Structure 1
Amino acid sequence: MLLLLLLAIHRQATGTIVASELRCQCLNTVQRIDFQDIQSLKVTPPGPHCQQTEVIATLKNGQDVCLNPEAPLVQRIIQKILKT
């Protein structure tokens, strides 16, 4: 239990993912990321637990990073993925 709590605190401190499905997962976002570093992308639309669209990229090194869904680069990445 303590390990899970420490992991959640660590994730919050780095500004990436919060270990809870009952609220927004992204506390902070990054504006830019290299497209080639992305292994997968998850777009979560607004819902009852979070009123904002969330874009979470899993990088090839296994790290999850929250991207700003309003950033032009992120929108281009999403469009590129949707076209493939």
Structure 2
Amino acid sequence: MAPATCPLLCSALMLLLLLATSRQATGTVVASELRCQCLRTQERIDFQDIQSLKVTPPGPHCTQTEVIAILKDGQEVCLNPEASLVQRIIQKILKTVKSS
């Protein structure tokens, strides 16, 4: 392999790796773990559609709390953690977990 093609090949492989580890569901979750995952958030979602909820506190990767709902159809949706409906959903899930 010629030395000039190695940087091009390495760049192509890095791009392929980045694309393979990134995902985009409903246009909201797009990044890996080194930056914020939620670029856009939703204010409302039907509680019955949620299979599970992932809450990521602020940290070196992102300065804001992120709430990602995994829906029963497998989609992931970013929710606004400050929205009152989202806070009620989180409280309802916490109550369910405590009572089990």
> Between Structure 1 and Structure 2, whose CA radius of gyration is higher?
2
Structure 1 position 7, deviation (Å): 8.3
TM-score normalised over the length of structure 1: 0.85
User: Match of 1:79?
Assistant: 91
**Counterpart contact for 2:57–2:66, Cα < 8 Å:** yes
TM-score normalised over the length of structure 2: 0.72
Equivalences for residues 36-51 of structure 1 within 5 A: 36-51=48-63
Alpha-carbon distance in structure 2 between the residues aligned to 1:15 and 1:25:
11
**Counterpart contact for 2:21–2:32, Cα < 8 Å:** no
Alpha-carbon distance in structure 2 between the residues aligned to 1:57 and 1:45:
15
Moved over 4 A (4+): none
- Flag structure 1 segments of 5+ consecutive residues without an equivalent: none
Judging changes above 3 Å, is the alpha-carbon distance between structure 1 residues 21 and 7 closer, same or farther for their aligned structure 2 residues?
A: closer
Structure 1 position 19, deviation (Å): 3.1
